Amino acid sequence: MFKGLILATFAMLGLLSTMSAISSDEVTKSSDLNATMHVEKLVLGSGCFWGAEKRYEALNGVLDAESGYADGHGFKPTYRNITKLSRRFDEDNYAEVVQVTFNSNIISAKELLQNYYESHDPTQKNRQGNDVGTQYRSIILTTSDEQASIAKAVTSEYQQLLGKADYGKIVTQIKPLERFYSAEEYHQNYLEKNPNGYCPDHSTGVVFSQDEKQQLDNTALLTGKQIVILDSRDYCPYCEKFKAAVANDYKGTIPMTFRHADQLNGLTIKSATWATPTILFLEDGVEVYSRQGYMDAELFYKALGAFKLGDSEAYKVAFNAKTDSPYCKEYTIFKNTPDGIFIDKLSGEPLFDTRDRFNSGTGWLSFTHPVKDSVTQHEDNSWGMQRIELKSKSTGIHLGHLFPGEGPNGQDRYCINATVLEFVAREEINRSDDV
């Protein structure tokens, strides 16, 4: 493909005569390079091609992955045509496939096919999860006799592993590739163009290397409130995006744990588990609520707020900008704590230090300033007043108001609602740092 493309381009530019003048040494070097690269192609169908394309591109040794159509007859292969209801069970329909170009010196055809089988359920005929139709069939289209032999051997090996796990017969078709048709441009790199979705994960959890399969102990997840994030064994851009936006900085008191879909033993999960990420909120091992797909920090913390705070005064303060009653229970507890830090009740991020606390006599917690870069300021013209609203930078929840010059010695007064805070003694912080 690459050589043909180069030759066609040179011919169009009238440069073929120039190529004939290239020295024999240069030709030899080019030949050596191609031999070293060992470029091969495999065309693989495992359901919707969007997630599969991205997954293959993330594998070391894969040079390119391109979404397209193959193994159909009788009509022009376009996304509109193959997804017509009249063709849902048409045996001549084209399959959604990915053409994988790879350097077999880095990733062998066997390794690529093992990854292929581990990434979907090859025992499902003409479907993967909720996607039903012949275009979603499991199929391997080879470009050499050697690949065909490898595909049959890998299939036989995986069938034995699936049988031990009580799965049925593999229905994956293995054929030589006749022709690959590239899909429309909007399907190429689809996940990058649609950043707020999820990666489909229809894997069985059965893997070739049993060292990769870990039946983890979920005992700790059976008590109290827990957050479980369903992650993918393969590269999932939405999972990585969620980690960067939320998980990597999360310090909340409700534990956050990552699991694969086949590692939920002992838990009572009501939702489908084929999408990554899926955020599960559990209580005593039972799913209370879940959200499928990527969640940004604002959406995640609002969901966490409903889960942790419920229909409470704290929730109304945090998300509806309400105000604690003066001298409320939490204020009474927090006004005389030992030396320590007040943290965001949801994210666990430090907000205020007891060393900056003072008694304003107002019935609300008051501080001369917050922890650096922990709060944001916003104009607030509610109730006919002009005030400066304070929000937590990490979660966006409402904290209170800033009153310039109303603190001791003309300093500012940060008037903060106690119900949206939690307290951590400094000695506990120092102890955890030592560990």
3-state secondary structure labels for all residues of 210-250: CCCCCCCCCHHHHCCEEEEEECCCCCCHHHHHHHHHCHHHC
Three-state secondary-structure class, residue 375: strand
Neighbours of 120 (CB within 10 A): 26
- C-beta of residue 43 within 8 angstroms of C-beta of residue 98: yes
- C-beta of residue 293 within 8 angstroms of C-beta of residue 281: no
Give the closest residue to 71 by CA, choosing from 92, 49, 42: 92
Measured distance CA(316)–CA(67) in Å, rounded: 47
pLDDT in tens, 123-176: 999 998 778 999 999 999 999 999 999 999 999 999 999 999 899 999 999 999
**Residues of the chain with pLDDT > 70: what percent?**
87
Q: What is the pLDDT of residue 433?
A: 59
Q: Which domains, from first to last, does the chain contain? A: 34-200 (3.30.1060.10), 219-295 (3.40.30.10), 318-434 (2.170.150.20)
Q: What is the pLDDT of residue 230?
A: 94
Measured distance CA(435)–CA(416) in Å, rounded: 32
> Residue 405's Cα: distance from chain center in Å?
46
Measured distance CA(285)–CA(251) in Å, rounded: 21
What number is the average pLDDT over the span 272-300?
93
| Catalytic-role residue among 48, 199, 236, 239 | 48
- Going by pLDDT thresholds of 50, 70 and 90, the confidence category of residue 275 is confident
| Catalytic-role residue among 199, 236, 239, 415 | 415
Output the CA torsion sign for 257, 262, 265, 270. positive
Q: What is the pLDDT of residue 36?
A: 53
Does position 295 have pLDDT exceeding 70, yes or no?
yes
Amino acid at site 138: S
Tell me whether residue 236 is one of the annotated catalytic residues.
no
Does position 411 have pLDDT exceeding 80, yes or no?
yes
Burial of 333 (0-12, 13-18, 19+ CB in 10 A): exposed
